[in-house]
Structure 1
Amino acid sequence: MPQTCAERCANFEERRDKALELFAVKGFGQVSMRELASHLGLTAGSLYHHFPSKQHLLFDLIEELFEELLATLQPRGRGKPEATALSRVIKAHWALHAERPLQFRLAERDLCCLSEEQQARIAQLRREYETRLLQLIAPHAALPPPAREATGHVIATLLNSLPGWLQASPLGQPQRLALMENMLLGAIERTLQTGALDAAA
């Protein structure tokens, strides 16, 4: 009996998740097409019917992560204080990291394996994400463009690195999340003080 559309989609997602796990554990550059096909229960020839190439699959996984990061910045109401917006964003990033730890690992380690065109697309998504992040949590920050860009980059890096760094902590999850929030709030408030970056120059 032919597979339904829902069954085909489920099979595709299952194979994609298995590929993600293999890439994350071994490293993208260490996985051959033959090994990938075997891991997915396919022949090397039939693999190309499911995925155009190993590189396209890696790009798809990293692009999806940045699209999910952008989704964490969607507003949840009007007139919210900036601190409340930041708290919401921190919690959303914490949850996303718990849901997709392997994709974060790929994005950090294997981005260099993409083509120049693919890397340019990811860089565009990251810039959009960092710009919108700073606009959301500090819409009134009076920073010159270079400092504003650098600040957005640093905040985004902390947001996406702290959950992994805190995993080994003996603290419980509520305490780790509170620690992450306190660290980010303190760093951002100090950085975004009027003239703070100019004074340090």
Structure 2
Amino acid sequence: MPKTCAERCADYEDRRDKALELFAAKGFGQVSMRELAAHVGLTAGSLYHHFPSKQHLLFDLIEELYEELLATLHPVGRGKHTTARLSVVIRAHWALHAERPLHFRLAERDLCCLSDEQQAHIAQMRRQYESHLLLAIAPSTRLTGPALEAAAHVVACMLNSLPGWLQHSPLPQAQRLALMENMLLGAIERTLPECISSAA
């Protein structure tokens, strides 16, 4: 009996998750098409019927991460105090990192394995995410141009790296999250002081 659409979609997602695990464990460049096919339960010849290419699959996984990073910024309330907005953003990033740690690993380590066109697309998504991020947590900033872009990039890097750095800490999760919030708020207070004072 042919599989239903739901069953085919579930199979696709399962194979995609297995590919993600393999890429994250070994590194994208160390995984051959034959090894990938065997890991996801396909023959090397049939793999191309499911995924256009190994590189396309990597791009799909990294693109998905940036789509979800953008989604973390949607529930941020513009009327809230700066610290409250920042807390919402931090907790959303913390939860996303806990849910998709392998995606973050791929995006940091294997982005260079994408084609120039794919890298340009991801770079555009990252700039969009960073600009939305700073607008969400510091809408009153007077920074412009390169200074604004640099501040957004640094805040984004801290948001996306701190959960991974703190995950092996012996501190309880609540204290790790509080430490992350304090570090980010301190950085923003020194870099974007007008945002904190205007919201007080």
Same fold per TM (> 0.5)? yes
Indicate the residue corresponding to 2:30 in structure 1: 30
Indicate the residue corresponding to 2:191 in structure 1: 191
Alignment of 1:28-177 (within 5 A): 28-177=28-177
Q: Deviation of residue 147 (structure 1)?
A: 0.7
Deviations 1:125-184 (A, max 9, x none): 000000000001000011131111000000000000000000111100000000000000
User: Within 1, Cα distance between the matches of 2:149 and 2:98?
Assistant: 27
Structure 2: gaps of 5 or more residues: 195-200
Q: Deviation of residue 75 (structure 1)?
A: 3.2
Deviations 1:16-51 (A, max 9, x none): 000000000000000000000011111001000000
Q: Deviation of residue 80 (structure 1)?
A: 1.5
SS in 2 for 1:168: coil
Deviations 1:81-135 (A, max 9, x none): 2211110000000000000000000000000000000000000000000000000
Number of residue pairs aligned between Structure 1 and Structure 2: 194
Q: Deviation of residue 71 (structure 1)?
A: 0.2
User: Within 1, Cα distance between the matches of 2:138 and 2:145?
Assistant: 14
Once the two structures are overlaid, the 10-residue window that deviates more, 71-80 or 109-118, is 71-80
Contact 2:78 2:85 in 1 (8 A): no
Q: TM-score, normalised by structure 2?
A: 0.95
Indicate the residue corresponding to 1:197 in structure 2: none
Provide runs of 4+ in structure 1 moved above 6 Å. Answer: none
Indicate the residue corresponding to 2:197 in structure 1: none
What root-mean-square deviation, in Å, do the aligned CA atoms of Structure 1 and Structure 2 show?
0.9
Structure 1: gaps of 5 or more residues: 195-201
SS in 2 for 1:2: coil
